[in-house]
Amino acid sequence: MTKPTQNNNGVISLPIPVNIAMSKNALKQSIYPLGKKYYETTDWLGNVRVTYTDKKSWQQNKFALNVSSSLDYYPFGSVMEGRNLEIFNYRFGFNGWEKDDEVKGEGNHISFGDYGYDTRLGRRLRPEPLNGKYPFLSSYSVINNNPIIYRDVNGLDWEITSITFDNKGNKTVHIKLTAAVINNSSNTTLDMVTFATKSAEQISKTFSVKYSRATKFETINLNENLDRAPNNLMYPTQINDVTIIVDVDIRVINSESELKENEHLISVENDNDPKMTPNETAHVNEIGGKKIFVKESVARDVISGRNKRTIAHEAGHTLGLYHITQKYASDLDKIFGKELPTYTKDKDILKTNLMGPFFNNSATKLTDQQAEIIEKNISNGKVNK
């Protein structure tokens, strides 16, 4: 399939497959005015700090963002007076939760799910639903009383629970997965408690990684007269470590009706079940999804310790990772030539990577890029589908 081409006037010609027909009405519906879509910029705690539209403005001979709101917060979420700008009243704010300005005034009340939170008091209005897990904290407290380091855990399947920095700028990210396992196979003798424990070990061990990334850059000005050369070049001047620590909480259930909304499901199926194809060991419902289906024979190998990779591999798919041999995420990406950033032909990576084609217990490594994608996917809401 040919890629889109661009002529000298900047007009892009897109090759459309012959089996696609688009009516005039469909074309009209696909056109929308700029300035109606909003994007948000958040800090390390998920607080919405700046929002802007998809329409750019021309200022001082260059394009600039159309900022629709800008907010600074006190530690527990009150909006700083004189340091907020809201041309458009954006719905979300502190910790990424929805604002309820009509309850107690602008920025004084946050939804925090369905129990409400007063940003002036730093206290919730209803008891913490998970207070049984935290007997050492007041059931009306939030964020472990430390809003500089922690985020309020809302019990999502994959959730970033805290992000911290040391005095050198190195970053530590704590991630938690909440899930349940169920035996839908005909083998009633499977030790599902051990299966849950081994599955949790696979996921925690594989995704608890450390990598490095550039955090500061310097610009070098190049000779502007060089033909087709960039005017400047950026190179990293500071490298910092990022440590990801993954905690996993998996319980055993006997019926899917027991599954909670905030839980992933790992389901053991008969090897000959129609859900399972002959050549696969397991699969997920979708990339970034919440369900993992595992063959009964594979579950037995996980329990015995012979298989130390399959559950982690499928968990990678729930985190939005593709096979590293997959070049495009969709046919549309293929048309535009948009390759997946994790696609590689490197033989060493293919042999050892968790998302590679070699199914052995030593192929459990992640690249720095994959680790960064995982963090971004959780932060940007691209998981738990």
233/286 same-domain check: yes
Residue 144 structure tokens: 């472990």
Q: Which of the 8 DSSP states describes residue 258? A: G
Cβ contact 156:95 at 8 Å: no
* Same domain membership, residue 324 and residue 339: yes
Q: Is residue 223 part of a domain?
A: yes
Tokens of 371: 């680790």
Is residue 15 assigned to a domain?
A: no
Indicate if 220 and 303 belong to the same structural domain: yes
pLDDT of residue 154: 59
Tell me: do 134 and 160 sit in the same domain.
Answer: no
Whose CA is closest to 267, among 183, 348, 377?
183
What burial letters (b/e) apply to 104-125, b meaning 16+ CB within 10 Å?
eeebbbbbbeeebbbbeebebe
Residue 146 and residue 164 in one domain: no
Q: State whether the Cα torsion 346-351-356-358 is positive or negative.
A: positive
Residue 345 CA, distance from chain mean position: 25
The pLDDT of residue 283 is 95
Report the DSSP pairing between strands 232-252 and 171-183. parallel
* 20 within domain boundaries: no
Are 254 and 131 in the same domain?
no
Strand partners, 221: 232
The last residue of a domain, from among 114, 133, 150: 150
Distance CA 156, CA 152 (A): 11
Q: Could you tell me if 51 and 86 are in contact, meaning their C-beta atoms sit under 8 angstroms apart?
A: no
Residues 141 and 160 in one domain: no
In a domain, 24, yes or no: no
pLDDT tens for 212-224 read 888 887 766 655 5
CATH code for the domain of 311: 3.40.390
Cβ atoms of residues 253 and 196 within 8 Å: no
Judge whether 383 lies within some domain. Answer: yes
Q: Tell whether 201 and 227 lie within a shared domain.
A: yes
- Nearest one of 260, 312, 322 to 287, comparing CA atoms: 322
309 shares a domain with 204: yes
Domain assignment present for 264: yes
In the listed set 123, 150, 177, which residue is the last one of a domain according to the structure? 150
Q: Does 6 map to a domain?
A: no
Per-residue HEC secondary structure of 276-329 comes to CCCCCCEEECCCCCCEEEEEHHHHHHHHHCCCCCHHHHHHHHHCCCCCCCCCCC
Same domain for 113 and 167, yes or no, is no
Query: How many whole angstroms separate alpha carbon 76 and alpha carbon 145?
Result: 9
List CB contacts of 250: < 8 A, sequence separation 6 or more.
177, 178, 179, 180, 181, 196, 197, 199, 200, 266
Q: Which amino acid is at 204?
A: S
Please give the model's pTM, rounded to 2 decimal places.
0.67
The count of domains in the chain is 2
Domain of residue 125: give its range: 36-150
Same domain, 211 and 113: no
CA-CA distance, 278 to 338, in Å (whole number)? 31
Question: Do the domain assignments include residue 145?
Answer: yes
Domain identity same for 222 and 182? yes
3-state secondary structure of 115: coil
Please compute Rg for the chain using Cα positions. Answer: 24
Residues lower than pLDDT 70 in the chain? 1-32, 113-114, 129-134, 151-157, 219-234
State whether residue 37 is helix, strand or coil: coil
Q: Which of 112, 131, 150 is the last residue of a domain?
A: 150
Partners of 179 in the β-ladder: 250, 264
Please tell me the number of Cα atoms within 13 Å of 39 on its side-chain side: 12
Model confidence over 257-311: pLDDT tens digits? 999 888 999 999 999 999 898 888 999 999 999 999 999 999 999 999 999 999 9
